[in-house]
Amino acid sequence: MRFFDTHTHLDYLSESLNLSVSTLVENAKQHQVEKILVVSVFAKNFAKVTACANEKPENIVYGLGLHPLYIHQHQLSDLDLLEYRLNQKDPLCTAIGEIGLEKAVSEISTPELWKKQCEFLEAQLALAKKFNLPVNLHSRKSHDQLSVFLKKVQLPKNGVVHGFAGSYEQAKRFVDLGYKMGVGGTITYQRANKTREAIRKLPLESLLLETDAPDMPVFGFQGQPNRPERLIMSFNSLCELRNEQPEIIAETIWQNSERLFSHA
C-alpha cells in the first residue's frame, strides 16, 4: 500500500521539530507515505513552501495560496505575487491552496473582513481557473457559503475540501460539485459521530487522506505536532468505518490523490 498526504504545512513542521524536510520525508516513507502536498498560508511563506518541494521533488509537490485566517494581513499585492508565481509554471506547483472561508473566528467574521475573505477567495478561484489548477480549500462554519462560490466558478480541476468536519448532507453538496473530501485526524476520535458517519457513507472515489501536519493531531497524540507518518492512523480508522477491503481503500485513495495533485 502507498499513501499521499494531501495537506501539510511541512515548512512549519520542520521548524517546530527542528528536523530537515528530507528527514520528515524519510520518516513518512517508512510508513508508506510516498508523496506529500505542502500548502502555503500567506505570501511570505511562498518561498519556503517552494523550497520544501525542491528539496525532495520526487516526494513533494506544493500549493500556493492565501489562507482566510490571515485575511487581516493579506494585501492586494499578495494576489499579484501569487499570479506571478503561478506564471512560472513550476511543475511541482500542483495546487492553489490553502484558500477558503473562515466563520469560526469572530474577529475575522466582521462584515468588513468577511467581505475581504470573499473577495480574496473569488480572486484565487479565478486564478485556479486561469492556470487550470485544483484548489485545496479551508472551510469552517462556512460550507454553505463556500459551495455557492464553487458552484458559480465551475473549476475544470475542482479540488478538495480539506480536513472535512461536517454532516453527510454538507459533504454531499461538495461531492456533487465534483470535489473531494479531505479525511484526517477528526475520524480517529470516536466522539466525532457526524463526521465519521459522513465519511462512512460517501463514495470512496470522493475521499483523500491528509494529516494537516503539524495541526489536527490524531487520537492519542493530542498536544503534539502531527506528522505525515501518522496518516496511517487515519487510514486505519477509515478502514474501520468502510466496507471495502483495506487494499481497495488504499489504492483508490492513492489514485484519487495522484489524479488531483501529482505533477505530469
Q: How many Cα atoms within 13 Å fall on the side-chain side of residue 38?
A: 30
Q: What is the 3-state secondary structure (H, E, C) of 212-231?
A: CECCCCCCCCCCCCCCHHHH
Q: Which domains does the chain have, with CATH numbers?
A: 3-261 (3.20.20.140)
143 has binding-site annotation: no
Element (H, E) at 209: strand 207-209
Model confidence at 197: pLDDT above 80: yes
Which DSSP category does 179 fall into? -
31 has binding-site annotation: no
pLDDT class of 264 with cuts at 50, 70, 90: low
7 has binding-site annotation: yes
263 has binding-site annotation: no
Give the model's pLDDT for residue 222.
Answer: 94
Which residues have C-beta within 8 Å of that of residue 76, sequence separation ≥ 6? none
Give the model's pLDDT for residue 107.
Answer: 95
5 has binding-site annotation: no
Name the one residue in this structure whose C-alpha cell is 483523500. 208
Give the model's pLDDT for residue 263.
Answer: 79
122 has binding-site annotation: no
Give me the mean pLDDT over the 110-120 stretch. 97
